[in-house]
Amino acid sequence: MTTTETGTTTPDLTAEIASALLSVARTMNQVRVHEALCRRAGVDLDRSGAAVLYKLVTEGEHVRLTDLAERLGVDSPAVTRKVQQLERRRLVSRAADPQDARASRLALTAAGRRAIERLLAARQAWLGELLQDWSEGDRGELARLLGLLAATVGRHTEVRHGR
């Protein structure tokens, strides 16, 4: 609770926001939600495989494996194992880094791009269904505020981590 200038007590909005974000994140990250979205999309991807494909599609092609591990916040050996699985399934390809022969660069294959695009489309459709009873104004305000929050968090983490 926060006490206002008039002496009245109001709920702490930051605590309400934090609680709501945790609830949404917990739900969105549940294995059963991911599996339902994969079924809907007609793709077979575990959450870590989807995370790798998502990073490649959103952050550009030809990413070094070590950079991908850093962006995912996972150690390189774990990313290497996941990439090997995705390579065997022909969802990603690996090529030598022209600047460093010891390193490799990753790219989505056409099949990998289709898989992540289908999964993202299924997620978007699911969210659309969840918000179908909201007014267009409320959906627009949510989109605006979430975009503002994402940009603020992104700037804060870039400054704190020297990027």
State the pLDDT at residue 5: 66
- 125 vs 4, 12, 24, 37, 54, CA distance in Å? 41, 33, 17, 10, 17
- 6 or 90: whose pLDDT is higher? 90
pLDDT of residue 29: 87
Q: What is the mean pLDDT of residues 98-125?
A: 91
Paired tokens of 111: 């099949």
What domains can you pick out in the chain, each with its CATH number? 2-130 (1.10.10.10)
Residue 89 has pLDDT above 90, yes or no: yes
Q: Does 139 or 3 have the greater pLDDT score? A: 139
> Under a CB-based contact definition with an 8 Å cutoff, are residues 65 and 150 in contact?
no
Per-residue confidence band for 162, with pLDDT thresholds at 50, 70 and 90: low
Quick one: average pLDDT of 110-117? 97
pLDDT tens for 13-43 read 888 998 999 999 999 889 999 999 999 999 9
SS (H, E, C) 24-58: HHHHHCCHHHHHHHHHHHCCCCCHHHHHHHHHHHH
Taking 90 as the threshold, does the pLDDT of residue 100 lie above it?
A: no
